[in-house]
Structure formats: structure tokens, C-alpha cells
Amino acid sequence: MAFTSSIFLFVFFPICLLGFFLAHAVEKVGSVFKKLRLSDLFLVGIGLIFYGWASFDGIFWMVGMIFLVFLLGKLIEKVPQKTPARLLAVLCSVLVVTLALIYFKYTGFLVTTINQIFSFSLSVKSIAAPLGVSFITFSAISYFVDIYRQDAKAGNLLDAALYLSFFPKVISGPIALWKDFSVQICWADRKLDTENFLWGLNRMILGFAKKVILADVFGLLISQISGNMSGGIDIITAWGMAFLYMLQIYYDFSGYSDIALGLSALFGIRLKENFCFPYLSQSIGEFWRRWHISLGTWFREYIYIPLGGNRKGKNRTFVNLFIVFLVTGIWHGAGWNYILWGVINGVFSVLERMSKNKTWYQKTPAVIKWAVTMSIVLLSWQVFRLSSMSEIGQYFQILFGVVHFDTVNFTWQYYFDLRMVFLMIVGTVGAILPGLSPVQNCWNRISKNKAVFCISQVLLLGLGVLAVMFMINSTYSPFIYFQY
């Protein structure tokens, strides 16, 4: 079930709010009802329905995963601290869920690669990966490792179920670490006030608008251009499509994250920010501190630091950094394009780390660093977008004028009309301007004014109505990160 579907917006969402607050009201009647944790039970139940909406079989997989993670977490906790047995317990637990991820997501890719390298003819049947398997697996690993490190205690079965099945984040994140999520399970640490509720609704509206007004429109044009490429494509259209995808993937995924953050806030749980204006970055390293922040945090906590981080010398730091980006590429999908994309980001991150103390690098103007970084991001997104190496090669030849078409059925004037150019300008300004310090400081000052607050709420309401109109008049477009 997509957040931007009519069934979610007009049926599922109202039922969720009504059921949750009704259960919470019953909990206040007496301590018996509070101990039953009716509101959390409701969230788990509604989370399973939300997850199973795409595939009923998915509910059984999720329930099995919950029981497995709960039992393994209890096992880790019961083993004495600082013993080889405890380390073995956590390693085996991580291995179990990781092997499940590999089986569902990478079996076909691995078999195909082996057949190509060794000229084998191994066959494998198509395996349908559970929805959000990568995000759920990473949550499970966080659960195990945080218990092992004593950053958090193992929860009871309901705690584990709520953590894994919490529907705002279950399919595409943000990835909440168990040590951060567990402290909010206690009602004393939840915020169910008017201010928090309004913040959640506003954030949902903003994310909804990002997705249906900008990301979906950009995605539709990209699909049209791709479908007409057999009839030729001019270089301006090629670069325009590259820029469109750069905007689409940002507004699609940050829009999803905004909705997830807003939804979570309505239920008294605050997830950490997942985006912080990444297209303002002046280096690839900074870009990844601003883009998909929850994933970067997970890799730092559970891969980069265990590998030694930056504590074992420069060369080891470079290797650890490259490994993290290589695994990042592999995590995104079973394909050589994702691996290449990870390698590109890893190489430039290492080069930046090697150069950051050099005089020439420090004296390079910020605008030059920004332009170079955005060029790398723009081009690497095309590697991410295209599924095969041959497509990548052909597209880059078109981008840089190596390949020309004698005839082009549809030129750039056909695709990039005034409406599309206007939306691209809006998208560009929206991705950059609000993140500038002077703009943020100005907003922090004036937003406290009651008149400004009222005007902003009216504008947000109008934006929400406009987004609903776009949704009703457009075809369904799933979030890009649903496939990961």
C-alpha cells in the first residue's frame, strides 16, 4: 500500500488514527489496560495489514521474522557479557538474517554471474523477495548488535514486533536503530501533544507534495523519453533527462521520508531526519552525510566502526571507507550497475579524504567544489538508474556527443515545455534554497510570529489540496526505494 494512494489517504490513514487514539484513551482508564499496551498492539496489527496489502504471504514472512529476531535477541542477552560465546551468538544471529537477505535478493544475480564466468548452465527459479527485505534485515542486525554492545536491552515480543513492523518505516525506512527506537517504546518518552501532531501533519503534506507534484511528474517524462529513445535522442534531451532523474530520486525518496517521519510523529515516535539538503554538498563525503542519513548512520555503526574506522592508520581508513561504499552499492540491488555506482562513490570519497589536507584543495573555492560534486552526483545517478552496462555505455556516449542520431523523432522542445521547465526550476530552488543558512535563520525568526504561522498553515493546506488533485488525476507511481 503506497502512502500516495487513495486507499491509504482516505481509508487506511483515518482508521489508523482513530484506532490508535481510541486504544490510547482506553489505556488511560486503568492500569490493567495500560499494561496490555492496546495502542502498541493496534500498531503491530495495522502494521501487518499494511505490509501484507501488497502480498498476503508477506504477513507470514514478517511474523516469522519477528519471532526469529525476538528469540535470537533473547539468546544474545542471556549469554554472559564479554565472552567468546556472546560474540559467537551475535555473529550467528547476524549471519542467519544476512543469508536470508542474500537468498531472496541476490541468488539469481550470483547464479547468473557464476554461469557467465565459468560457462556453467546452473538454473534457478525466480524468487520473489519480501517487500522491504533490505530495510527489515538491517533493522534486525541493529537489534542484535545493540543488545550485544549493551546499548539497549532486548525487548519483549511486542517490543520486537513493534520495532520491525512499525508501518511508517517498514518498507523503505528511515532505518531506525534499535537503541534509538527502544527508548521511545516507553510512553513517558512519547510526545502526543498538539504541537507534535501538527508537525506530523505538516511534514506529511510536504512529503506528499514532493512525491506527486514533482517526483511523479519528472518520472513520467523520463519514462516517455526512454520509451522514444529508439527514434533517436538529442544531446540536450539526454542531459535534461539526467537532470530530471537527479531531481526525481531526491523528491521521491525525501518525500517518502517526510511522510514516514510525519506519520511516526502522529503516533508519538520521532524518527531521525533522513535528508538534509544533499544538493548543497561540496564533497561526496558531505553528500553522504546529507543523503539517506539513516543508511549512512547504519553503515558507520555496524560496518565502518567494527572494521576499525579511522583508528588504524590512513591506509586502513581508506580501505574501510571504500568497503562501506562497495557494500552500499551491493545493498541497493543485485546488479553490476549498483556495484559500479558504489565503487564510483567509494573512489571519490577516498580521493577526497586523501586530498582534504592538501593546500590546493583547501584553497579551491567552495563554488568549484560544489560544481564538481554535483557533476559527479549527476553522472553517478545515471549509473544507478540504468540496469545494464551496455545501456550505461550507450547513454554516456550520447551525453558526451560520441554517438549522434541522424534523425530524431522528438527533440528537446517537445519534452521540455514551459510547464516542465517551471517545475524543474521549482524543484531546483526547493532542493537548495531552504537549506541555505541565511534562509533558515530568517525562517526561524519570522516563523514565531503568529501571522506568519497562520499564513504558512494556509499555504500548506493549499499545497495538500493541490497534491490530492495531482494524485487523483495521475496514474499510480510506486516510490523508487520500494524495490530495495
Domain end: 189, 213, 243, which one? 189
- Cell numbers found for residue 85: 560465546
- Distance from chain centroid for Cα 273: 11
Average pLDDT over residues 89-103: 94
Asked if pLDDT for residue 481 goes beyond 90, the answer is no
Block residue for cell numbers 494524485: 471
The pLDDT tens digits for 338-380 are 999 999 999 999 999 999 889 999 999 999 999 999 999 999 9
Q: What's the rounded Cα separation, in Å, for the pair 207 and 168?
A: 13
Do 164 and 240 fall into the same domain? Answer: no
For the chain, what is the mean pLDDT? 91
Tell whether 264 and 326 lie within a shared domain.
Answer: yes
Identify residue 189 by its one-letter amino acid code. D
185 and 200 belong to one structural domain:
no
The DSSP output letter for 335 is S
Q: Does residue 225 share a domain with residue 305?
A: yes
* pLDDT tops 90 at residue 240: yes
Measured CA distances, 124 to 100, 113, 373, 384, 388 (Å)? 16, 12, 41, 25, 20
DSSP state of 480: G
* Rounded Cα distance, 451 and 269, in Å: 29
Q: In the structure, how many helices (H) and strands (E) does the chain have?
A: 24, 0
1 lies in some domain:
no
| pLDDT confidence bin for 5, thresholds 50/70/90 | confident
323 within some domain:
yes
Q: What is the distance of C-alpha 285 from the center of its chain?
A: 18
Residue 142 lies in a domain: yes
Percent of the chain's residues with pLDDT above 70: 97
Question: What integer pLDDT is reported at residue 397 of this predicted model?
Answer: 93
* CA atoms of 167 and 259, how far apart (whole Å): 11
Same domain as 184, residue 206: no
The Cα-based distances of 348 to 190, 282, 343, 352, 400 in angstroms read 41, 12, 9, 6, 21
Q: Does residue 378 contact residue 396 with C-beta atoms inside 8 Å?
A: no
Structural domain for 61, as ranges = 6-189
Distance of CA 336 to the CA centre of its chain: 20
Evaluate whether residue 43 is within a structural domain: yes
Q: Single out the residue of 477, 481, 476 nearest to residue 133, CA to CA.
A: 481
Over residues 185-213, the pLDDT tens digits come to 876 567 778 888 999 999 999 999 999 99
211: cell is: 512525491
Residue of 24, 292, 332, 404 with catalytic role = 332
Q: Is residue 56 within a helix (H) or strand (E), and if so which, with residue range?
A: none
pLDDT value at position 483?
59
In whole angstroms, what is the distance from residue 132 CA to residue 51 CA?
9
How much is the average pLDDT of 310-316?
87
Distance of alpha carbon 139 from its chain centroid, rounded? 13
- pLDDT tens digits along 392-419: 999 999 999 898 888 888 889 999 999 9
Residues 219 and 73 in one domain: no
Q: How confident is the model at residue 174 (pLDDT cuts 50, 70, 90)?
A: very high
Q: Is residue 357 part of a domain?
A: yes
Q: State how many domains the chain has.
A: 2
Cβ proximity of 373 and 283 under 8 Å: yes
Are 88 and 24 in the same domain? yes
Q: Are residues 158 and 296 in the same domain?
A: no
Q: Tell whether the torsion through CA atoms of 434, 438, 440 and 445 is positive or negative.
A: negative
- Indicate whether 484 belongs to any domain: no
- How crowded is residue 18: how many other Cβ atoms within 10 Å of its Cβ? 10
- Give the model confidence (pLDDT) of 278-305 as tens digits: 999 999 999 999 999 999 999 999 999 9
Domain boundary among 134, 160, 189: 189
Q: Let me know if 332 is a catalytic residue.
A: yes
Output 36 or 13, whichever has higher pLDDT: 13
On the question of pLDDT at 484 being above 60, the answer is: no
| Helix ranges (DSSP H) in 184-234 | 194-209, 216-227
- 328 class by beta-carbon count within 10 Å (0-12 exposed, 13-18 middle, 19+ buried): buried
Length of the chain: 484
pLDDT for 131: 86
User: Does residue 200 sit within a domain?
Assistant: yes
Q: Among the three residues 121, 155, 189, which one is the final residue of a domain in this structure?
A: 189
**CB–CB of 265/195 below 8 Å?**
no
Task: Write down the H helix ranges in 300-411.
Answer: 305-307, 314-332, 336-355, 359-363, 366-385, 389-399
What is the pLDDT, as a whole number, of residue 119?
78
Q: Comparing 58 with 266, which gets the higher pLDDT?
A: 266
Are both 321 and 416 inside the same structural domain? yes
How high is the pLDDT of residue 295? 94
In the chain, the percentage of residues whose pLDDT exceeds 90 is: 70
Give the Cα separation of 150 and 189 in Å (integer): 20
Q: Please list, in sequence order, all residues whose beta carbon lies within 8 angstroms of the beta carbon of residue 39, skipping any fewer than 6 positions away.
A: 20, 23, 24, 27
- On whether both 211 and 149 belong to a single domain, the answer is no
178 and 271 both lie in a single domain:
no
Whether residues 103 and 19 fall in one domain: yes
* Domain contains 185: yes
Task: For residue 207, give the nearest of 2, 18, 447 by alpha carbon.
Answer: 2
For the CA atoms of the chain, what is the radius of gyration? 24
Asked if the peptide bond before residue 84 counts as cis, ω within 30 degrees of 0, the response is: no
Say if CB 280 and CB 274 are below 8 A apart.
no
Cβ-Cβ contacts under 8 Å for 30 (sequence gap 6 or more): none
